Amino acid sequence: MKTRDKILLSSLELFNERGERNITTNHIAAHLAISPGNLYYHFRNKSDIIYEIFQEYENLVDYYLDIPEDRAITLEDLTFYLESVFDGLWSYRFFHRDLEYLLDSDPRLRRDYREFTNRCLAAINRIFGKLAEAGIIEPQPEELRSAMSLNVWLVITNWMAFLKTAHASEESASLTLTELKQGIYQVLTLEIPYLTPEYRERVMVLREKYRPVLPEAAPA
Amino acid sequence: MKTRDKILLSSLELFNERGERNITTNHIAAHLAISPGNLYYHFRNKSDIIYEIFQEYENLVDYYLDIPEDRAITLEDLTFYLESVFDGLWSYRFFHRDLEYLLDSDPRLRRDYREFTNRCLAAINRIFGKLAEAGIIEPQPEELRSAMSLNVWLVITNWMAFLKTAHASEESASLTLTELKQGIYQVLTLEIPYLTPEYRERVMVLREKYRPVLPEAAPA
DNA sequence: ATTATCTATAGATCTATAGATAATGC
DNA sequence: ATTATCTATAGATCTATAGATAATGC
């Protein structure tokens, strides 16, 4: 593998494990056993590395959220979308952790991320529309559907922070992909009141598979 | 005012305006026109300053979320709780922005914040219970009520990040308390399907007051 | 010839303390 | 006497570059 790609890969790994804020260009170079000078030969600075990693993330999610126009949607499709989005969040989990700082530091990233969010919201909205067409949920007015889509997005993008800050009783290192996917339980909770009688039971069974194991309130 | 209190106040102000990550002990001292040495006379380090500020935040929210045991809850109470929580978020808005890093840096804060979250979740849960008692929403099984409470919490604590990252078209500095409170619209959206016929219209009118003005998709 | 890499380092911070001095409260 | 403050600074990073050297591809 080319050094340039190794830098991107190691950076992602280190960012995910220890947080972007805790990783400097020195750390990345040291981890790869190359000189800092070499790293700066391939990238102008840390921001450029992050920007490229974001573009990978964006492409991945865009690819998964490509909603078919020509056919009806199924419960299996819905499961796939949810699983994929949480897979993406997991692989690039450093990103949302320091999102605000990253966007403040790089105008390109701010612009791209805003558009990315809009695409995701539009995709969620379209999924709600197709779920209604498929008779899985009751159709809702556009106004409500948009607000619901936004709530889905807020729950999805905040679930990991919740796990890392409130759930984990000790070090945050212990977070697993399985726990992360329990966020699907929370997303499906949002849809319960809108389910059609025909699908209600099937969705409840699906939801049950992701039930989070919440911690006891910590002892005083 | 005592220098110690001035340090706490200025720190909060600077953290909120420019982000905790961008503010060093030097910045705080310079802003107050005192020497760094003086700052370190009053606080052992930045973490200690943040910990005290968190305790203020915690006390404020605990005070607002004191749910009365002896009487029924009204729609005005609900409005008060929602407004208060967003007021608290606004006053200490730096906190959630860098939450994960802050908790990783200070075990006391991690422990306290976890308990704080649990108290907030319990309060939301209790509010749902009392709303049902008051005939504002339909009663729901405990299982569902807990999941709903968690979703409310996820929406509340992520709304500001959404505004700052996706909504704001230019600099993040422009965020206002009014925009922040439009998060109430999103929270009330979660409750719509559970409203009783008697209260449905009144809650919809209340919700309408907080309707967010969402941005157009940015031009390419 | 061009591309990739290393060594060495300047310059910019930041944290935190030691030690001297000034201000305050009995 | 005690509390509050300042000056000065050591020590630890981190970013980013200049300039030399090594490796690679025609």
State how far the Cα of A179 lies from the Cα of A212, in Å rounded to an integer: 7
% of chain B surpassing 90 pLDDT:
90
Note whether residue A25 is domain-resident. yes
Domain holding A38, by residue range, is 1-44
Cα B120 from Cα B163, distance rounded (Å) = 22
In a domain, B218, yes or no: no
Q: Looking at the structure, do residues B37 and B105 belong to the same domain, yes or no? A: no
Output the pTM of the full model: 0.94
Model confidence pLDDT, tens digit, residues A79-109:
999 999 999 999 999 999 999 999 999 999 9
**Do residue A8 and residue A107 come from a single domain?**
no
What pLDDT is attached to residue B212? 75
B121 in a structural domain: yes
Number of CB atoms found within 10 A of residue B41's CB: 12
Q: What positions of strand C are covered by protein, i.e. any atom < 7 Å from a CB?
A: 4-9, 13-19
CATH number at residue B81: 1.10.357.10
In 3D, which of B99, B87, B98 has the Cα closest to residue B18?
A: B98
Q: Give me the residue label for tokens 């308390």.
A: B177
- Is B14's pLDDT higher than 60? yes
Interacting residues of B24 by C-beta distance below 8 A, sequence separation 6+: B46
Using CB atoms, pick whichever of B144, B161, B214 lies closest to residue A99: B161
- Percent of chain B having pLDDT more than 70? 94
Shared domain check, A92 and A62: yes
Q: Per the domain annotation, does A213 fall within a domain?
A: no
The CATH number given to whatever domain includes residue B31 is 1.10.10.60
Residues B56 and B88 in one domain: yes
Q: Would you say residue B68 lies in a domain?
A: yes
As a rounded value in angstroms, the CA-to-C1' distance for B17 and D6 is 28
Grade residue A172 by pLDDT with cuts at 50, 70 and 90: very low
Residue A36 and residue A53 in one domain: no
Q: How far is the CA of A102 from the C1' of D24 (A)?
A: 37
Residue range A127-157, pLDDT digits in tens: 999 999 999 999 999 999 999 999 999 999 9
Q: For residue range B58-104, list pLDDT tens digits in order.
A: 999 999 999 998 999 999 999 999 999 999 999 999 999 999 999 99
Q: Is residue A155 part of a domain?
A: yes
If asked whether residues B39 and B55 sit together in one domain, one would say no
Question: What CA dihedral angle connects A94, B100, B16 and B174, to 10 degrees?
Answer: 40
Q: B174 and B81, same structural domain?
A: yes
CA A53 to C1' D15, whole Å = 20
Statement to judge: residues A17 and A104 lie in one domain: no
Co-location of B17 and B71 in the same domain: no
Say if residue B27 is in the same domain as residue B100.
Answer: no
What is the gyration radius of the CA atoms in chain B, in angstroms? 20
Amino acid at B213: V
The total number of structural domains in chain B stands at 2
- Inter-chain contact A117–B166, Cβ cutoff 8 Å? yes
Q: Are residues A120 and A130 in the same domain?
A: yes
Indicate whether A50 and A16 sit together in one domain: no
CB atoms within 10 A of CB A155: 24
- Measured from Cα to the C1' atom, the residue closest to D3 is B41
Rounded to an integer, the average pLDDT of B144-173 is 87
Q: Determine the pLDDT at residue A166.
A: 87
Residue B74 lies in a domain: yes
Burial of residue B70 (number of CB atoms within 10 Å: 0-12, 13-18, 19+) = exposed
| A214 assigned to some structural domain | no
